[in-house]
Amino acid sequence: MDSLVERLVKVVPSERQIKWQQLEFTAFLHYGINSFYDREWGTGKEDISVFHPKNLDTDQWCEALKAAEIKACIITAKHHDGFCLWDTAYTDHSVMHTPFKRDIVAELAKSCKKYGLKFGVYLSPWDRHEESYGKGKEYDDFFCGQLTELLTNYGEIYTVWFDGACGEGKNGKKQIYDWDRYYKVVRSLQPEAVISICGPDVRWCGNEAGECRESEWSVVPASLFSQKYIQEHSQQEDSEEFRQKGLTEQTKDLGSREVVKDTEELIWYPAEVDVSIRPGWFHHDNEDDKVKSLEVLKEIYLQSVGGNSVLLLNIPPHRDGYITEQDRTRLQELGDFIRNDFKDNLMTSNVTATSTDKGTDAKNIVSHDESYWKSEDYIDGCRITVDLGQPKEIKYVVLQEQIRLSQRVESFYVEGELKNGKPKVLYRGTTIGYKRICPIEPIEVSKVHVVFEKFRKSPTLKHMAIY
Ligand code: FUL
């Protein structure tokens, strides 16, 4: 047996990674002093007395997200400018020292609970306001203090999002972050939370355009999350020279056998696609007419959620504290698309497989529970067949591997049996992972075959749906 394959399939997700992956569609909320200064990056020298939203309503934010079928949100509790949206004891540069004087993190946490959304925090390590930034342990103490507040006073936190951005440049301040210490704080206070981006649990997909790789592997070389990598990356030292030294989050192929074959250590490090509904991350009046079209958002959704990634769509509230009508309309439309296109599941329990491992059953893929189908070990060219009973028009086939047994499928195709009995290939794909949505030119078929061409070890399916 190929030892590389054995090593690869041993790499599996943690429980917290599985829970995070199951959220599928999540939201970013970029809000803060930048919303008032019409900026993307603040300097840290802003006059915070201008922070005075007229109509801040976090329930309204949650309603807008729910309309789009979003399951969780992350607030920029502190962006690079250092302005804090919560009642912190560590600095006066916070919302409590503005005329507004309301703890926005607390209000949003409460609204999320009310609307059944998971709640996460973005805390920028790069802080342009804090005087101790660049002074080593002094700043680490400050940062861990802030983290502790956020992870203690606001209920359950599903993710802590550590941004790697730093614009200090060569002659700027240099803070060597004590990442291990930060991670210990998160693990001890919120053990279920995933630590994203500059953290061990969730990987940045490598762009902010909403683009996913055709083959998005969750099993990747551990070097993508080495201390050295995170440190250099968070100092923006990932220059051309840095990139040439090895794999980065931007590398096109992170997980094929060819790429990982000489890799000593492998990790489960799934991708997150973060993209804004508008050109900027923060709200700007002059971008109100630049909200992405429904067509673009649909495409992003199908590619990311349907491409083994979690989608993190940014919706920036207006400075006055609400999500604008333009964005709400689009979120409603996107939600309607998801509800309508994935409503009538045509999957039947008439499912058979050319090969089935003992203890599993092809019928298991109909249900959403943990049961699954697995082909017998080392059988090539196996397929799953779903008999629809009579010809029906189909538009999507959705496949999900049982990722508790790792990510195994390297290539597959979907074939339909036409009314005249002839087979037709409807979709060709590479990886599946947690979820692959296969869009199909609408066509009437009486049977659907999923043919597994290449896989690391006997393929698995936990769930399948046909729409
Ligand atoms: C980047 C930041 O610099 C942007 O302002 C934004 O927060 C984005 C999500 O991450 O690194």
Q: Is the CB of 83 under 6 A from ligand 1?
A: no
pLDDT single digits (tens) 36-45: 999 999 999 9
The three-class DSSP label of residue 219 is: strand
Q: Is the CB of 81 under 6 A from ligand 1?
A: no
Out of 341, 374, 389, pick the residue that ends a domain.
341
Out of 341, 374, 397, pick the residue that ends a domain.
341
Domain that holds residue 425: 351-466
Please indicate, yes or no, whether residues 51 and 165 belong to a single structural domain of this protein: yes
Please indicate, yes or no, whether residues 458 and 333 belong to a single structural domain of this protein: no
Residue 1 — pLDDT band, cuts 50, 70, 90?
low
Q: How high is the pLDDT of residue 170?
A: 86
pLDDT single digits (tens) 380-434: 779 999 999 999 999 999 999 999 999 999 999 999 999 999 999 999 999 999 9
If you average pLDDT over residues 447-456, what whole number do you get?
96
| Cα–Cα separations (whole angstroms), residue 266 to 152, 226, 261, 313, 460 | 33, 11, 10, 29, 21
If you average pLDDT over residues 102-115, what whole number do you get?
99
If you average pLDDT over residues 112-118, what whole number do you get?
98
pLDDT single digits (tens) 313-348: 999 999 999 999 999 999 999 999 999 999 999 999
CATH of the domain at 168: 3.20.20.80
* Atom in ligand 1 nearest the alpha carbon of residue 122: 7
466: nearest Cα among 389, 409, 379: 389
pLDDT single digits (tens) 253-292: 999 999 999 998 999 999 999 999 999 999 999 999 999 9
Please indicate, yes or no, whether residues 13 and 55 belong to a single structural domain of this protein: yes
Residue owning the nearest CA to atom 10 of ligand 1: 163
Please indicate, yes or no, whether residues 172 and 252 belong to a single structural domain of this protein: yes
Q: Is the CB of 165 under 6 A from ligand 1?
A: yes
Say how many domains are in the chain. 2
Answer yes or no: are the C-beta atoms of 356 and 461 closer than 8 Å.
no
Q: Report CA(165)–ligand 1 centroid distance (Å).
A: 7
CATH of the domain at 430: 2.60.120.260
Residue 236 — pLDDT band, cuts 50, 70, 90?
low
Q: Report CA(333)–ligand 1 centroid distance (Å).
A: 26
Out of 319, 341, 363, pick the residue that ends a domain.
341
Q: How high is the pLDDT of residue 295?
A: 98
* Atom in ligand 1 nearest the alpha carbon of residue 40: 5
Q: Report CA(401)–ligand 1 centroid distance (Å).
A: 32
Residue 226 — pLDDT band, cuts 50, 70, 90?
confident
How far is 139 from 179, CA to CA, in rounded Å?
12
Please indicate, yes or no, whether residues 231 and 361 belong to a single structural domain of this protein: no
The three-class DSSP label of residue 444 is: strand
Residue 259 belongs to a domain: yes
